[in-house]
Homo-oligomer: A and B are copies of this chain.
Amino acid sequence: MTPRTPAPRSRRERPAKPALTHGTIVASAVRLMAAEGLQRVTMRRLAQELDTGPASLYVYVAGTAELHAAILEELLGAVDLSPATAEGDWRDRLAQVLLSYTGVLFDHPGLAQSALVTRPSGPHYLALVESILALLHEGEVPDGQAAWGVDVLLQVATATAAEQSVREGAPDAEDDHDALVEALGQASARTHPRIAALGADLFSGTPQQRLAWIFRAVVNGTATTPR
Give chain B residues whose Cβ lies under 8 Å from the Cβ of A205: 148, 227
A184 to B202, CA, bound (A): 38
A131 to B125, CA, bound (A): 37
Task: Name which of A5-13, A18-26, A210-218 contacts chain B.
Answer: A210-218
Give chain B residues whose Cβ lies under 8 Å from the Cβ of A170: 65
Q: Which residue of B lies closest to A134 (CB)?
A: B194
For A185-227 the 0/1 string (1 means CB < 8 A from B) is 0010001111101100110110000100110111111101101
Chain A interfacial positions (CB closer than 8 Å to B): 62-63, 65-66, 69, 113, 116-119, 121-122, 125-127, 129-130, 133-134, 137, 143-152, 155-156, 158-160, 162-163, 166, 170, 172-173, 176-177, 179-180, 182-184, 187, 191-195, 197-198, 201-202, 204-205, 210, 213-214, 216-222, 224-225, 227
20 extra interface residue pairs, beta carbon distance < 8 Å, beyond A146-B198, A159-B159, A217-B224 = A113-B116, A116-B116, A116-B159, A122-B183, A126-B195, A129-B195, A130-B192, A133-B198, A134-B194, A137-B194, A143-B197, A143-B201, A144-B204, A147-B204, A148-B213, A150-B202, A155-B160, A205-B227, A213-B227, A221-B222
